[in-house]
Chain A
Amino acid sequence: GNSVTQMEGPVTLSEEAFLTINCTYTATGYPSLFWYVQYPGEGLQLLLKATKADDKGSNKGFEATYRKETTSFHLEKGSVQVSDSAVYFCALSGTGGYNKLIFGAGTRLAVHP
């Protein structure tokens, strides 16, 4: 079945460091891919998405490229801020007629001044 694998956290960085959070997926067909962010005590918010191969999603300085050849959707940011501290979830949509979102385990990011 479909699945998502994320790098384990926590990831601890200093402010202005470069961020990469790895995400790989297993799916039949051509899923859409998402990154969601969860701030402490809150629900999830969509950070960015890509709906087909080679698409690049971007938002708030974060980027991720849909790589079908490596089944990956790694999240990157060139210069992190303390306010980026949160848990990041990679997700894919179910292919076919049902809109099921499948999530990775989440990666906690802590950014220190």
Chain B
Amino acid sequence: DGGITQSPKYLFRKEGQNVTLSCEQNLNHDAMYWYRQDPGQGLRLIYYSQIVNDFQKGDIAEGYSVSREKKESFPLTVTSAQKNPTAFYLCASTPNPGQGKFSTEAFFGQGTRLTVV
């Protein structure tokens, strides 16, 4: 079955440590996204990538980094510079219809809950 797989489901990070969240999709989608979800704040965009080897900062990119070396994969690294990383992280993907209005649904992974200990 096609879909998006995030791993791990739960992740614990010590102070000053970098951690990497995995996101893999087999939907052949061009565009991939990382969102952060905090209680009562909805989803905020961290980074997005419309094509392999290219990515752009979203609204809250500070303290995070990404790579897009393969179409299927879009890992997110939470660095020690991110001062408040405890949150639920969601990865999503969409086809990229190019210029014009986007009307295709986004597919989401099951999320990774990151906790600082």
> Which of A43, A44, A45 is the most central at the interface, judged by chain B CB atoms within 10 Å of its CB?
A43
**Residue interface bits B81-117, CB-to-A below 8 A is 1, else 0:** 0000000001010101111111111101111000000
Asked if B31 is at the interface of the complex by the 8 Å CB criterion, the answer is yes
Residues of B in contact with A, size category: 20 to 34
Asked if A81 is at the interface of the complex by the 8 Å CB criterion, the answer is no
Would A99 and B108 be within 8 Å (CB), given that A51-B101, A104-B42, A105-B42 are in contact?
no
Q: How many angstroms between the C-alpha atoms of A44 and B93 in the bound complex?
A: 12
Tell me which of A14-22, A69-77, A90-98 binds B.
A90-98
Is A32 a contact partner of B103 (Cβ separation < 8 A)?
Answer: yes
List residues of A whose CB falls within 8 A of some B CB: 29-32, 34, 36, 41-46, 49, 51, 89, 93-101, 103-106
List residues of B whose CB falls within 8 A of some A CB: 4, 6, 31, 33, 35, 40-43, 45, 48, 50, 90, 92, 94, 96-106, 108-111
* 6 A-B pairs with the lowest CB-CB distances in the bound complex, closest first: A43-B108, A99-B102, A105-B42, A93-B102, A46-B105, A97-B99
